[in-house]
Structure formats: structure tokens, C-alpha cells
């Protein structure tokens, strides 16, 4: 059975604020470990002044729209071609039934506006600050960039199909989809010299378009 987090939009809105922990907890822990200020860690995660801000915003919007239009092809490729051919349509059906849905069900206009704002202010920036701004940089101190991108994208994938909450069929069915998006967002992050602005905007724009269309 699909886990419907959006069945009550107010609960979904409340849960969204938990994503702030992606920034707060690592910053608190590593400020102690590295004997640096909380503010310094936050800046390292990407919350700092950015050059060429307008270009990064426009690029992020464009990439978010592009991801939205090509996202369905990515999921078709993995779910309907690769996984179906490897494990059969019954396996995919079980995977779909075990998925977690964050799409709000019958939200009113106020709830929808709040959800869109939270996507812009919290979901995009906090997830990108952690999965890209924090993890890639930390992994890169021990590993090369390619492995750092892969590991951060793998953790990003497991966050969206968490093994504790969803069955193995769901993890296998959707992992390719989320892994590709994790890698793409990581490449944007690296290309723009470790700025979370364009990948955050692309992430938020993609989510908002899914909500509205």
C-alpha cells in the first residue's frame, strides 16, 4: 500500500520543517568536531554570498523545467524497461504499491501556496545543502570527486526510498530514477563551483511543477 504523506496537507506541511535538520544537525555536530563556528559550517554548506546570482537563478529554473519534461522518460527507462524486463511487471506493481507519496491530496489554495513556498525556502535549499554542499565536500576530503558524487547521490536515493519504510521491490524499482537525479544535481553543483543556488532552484522548480501539473 502506498504511504500517503499528503493525505492531510497540514501534516505534510509540518513534516517539511523537519528538513531543516539536514542543515542544523550536521552544522552542530561538525562545529564541535572541527572546532569551528556554527555559522562557518553553514556557509560551507552553501549558504553564502554568490557571484553571478542572476545567471545561477535562471540556469536553475531552466534545468528544473528540463528535468520535469525529461523526468517521465527517465522513470519509464528504469521502471518500465529495465526493472520490468529483469524482474517482471508483477515486481514493478509491488514496488509501486510500497512507494511513499508526498503529493498533497485535495489541498486548498492556502495549503498549496504554503507547500510551494516551503519547496522554495526549505526543501530545495536544505536537501541540496546536505546532499551536495555537505556530503560531496566531506567525501571529497577522503575520496575523488566521482566517488563523492556517487556516494552522495546514493544517500540521496536512499532518503527518497528509505529501506526501513519501503520494501525492497520499491527500492529497486525507483533507485535508478533518484540516483540519476542525484548525479545530475551533483554535476550542477560542481559545475557552478560548489554553489547550491542553481541545484536548489532546479530541485524546487522540479518539485513545484510536479505539484501543479
The pLDDT value given to residue 2: 74
CB 198 within 8 A of CB 185: no
The pLDDT value given to residue 1: 64
Domain ranges (residues) in the chain: 3-212
Residue indicated by cell numbers 535562471: 58
Half-sphere exposure of 198 (CA within 13 A, CB side): 24
Can you name the residues that pair with 3 across neighbouring β-strands?
100
% residues pLDDT > 70 (the chain): 100
The neighbour count for residue 4, using CB atoms within 10 Å, is 15
Q: Residue 182: which of 74, 55, 20, 65 has the closest Cα?
A: 74
pLDDT digits (tens, 9 = 90+) for 85-118: 999 999 999 999 999 999 999 999 999 999 999 9
The pLDDT value given to residue 49: 81
DSSP string, 147-160: HHHHHHHHHHHHHH
* Grid coordinates given for 50: 554568490
User: DSSP E strands: which ranges in the chain?
Assistant: 3-4, 100-101
Distance of CA 180 to the CA centre of its chain: 11
pLDDT of 160 over the 80 cut: yes
Amino acid at each position: 500500500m502506498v504511504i500517503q504523506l499528503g493525505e492531510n496537507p497540514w501534516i505534510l506541511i509540518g513534516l517539511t520543517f523537519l528538513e531543516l535538520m539536514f542543515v542544523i544537525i550536521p552544522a552542530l555536530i561538525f562545529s564541535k568536531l572541527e572546532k569551528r563556528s556554527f555559522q562557518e559550517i553553514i556557509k560551507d554548506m552553501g549558504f553564502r554570498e554568490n557571484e553571478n546570482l542572476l545567471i545561477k537563478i535562471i540556469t536553475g529554473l531552466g534545468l528544473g523545467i528540463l528535468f520535469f519534461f525529461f523526468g517521465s522518460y527517465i522513470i519509464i527507462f528504469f521502471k518500465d524497461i529495465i526493472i520490468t524486463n529483469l524482474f517482471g511487471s508483477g515486481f514493478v506493481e509491488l514496488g509501486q504499491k510500497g512507494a511513499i507519496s508526498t503529493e498533497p491530496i485535495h489541498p486548498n489554495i492556502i495549503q498549496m501556496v504554503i507547500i510551494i513556498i516551503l519547496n522554495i525556502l526549505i526543501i530545495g535549499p536544505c536537501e541540496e545543502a546536505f546532499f551536495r554542499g555537505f556530503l560531496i565536500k566531506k567525501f571529497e576530503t577522503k575520496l575523488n570527486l566521482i566517488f563523492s558524487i556517487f556516494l552522495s547521490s546514493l544517500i540521496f536515493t536512499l532518503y527518497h526510498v528509505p529501506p526501513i519504510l519501503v520494501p525492497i521491490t520499491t527500492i529497486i524499482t525507483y533507485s535508478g530514477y533518484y540516483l540519476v537525479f542525484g548525479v545530475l544535481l551533483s554535476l550542477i553543483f560542481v559545475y557552478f563551483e560548489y554553489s547550491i543556488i542553481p541545484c536548489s532552484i532546479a530541485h524546487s522548480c522540479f518539485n513545484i511543477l510536479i505539484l501543479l501539473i
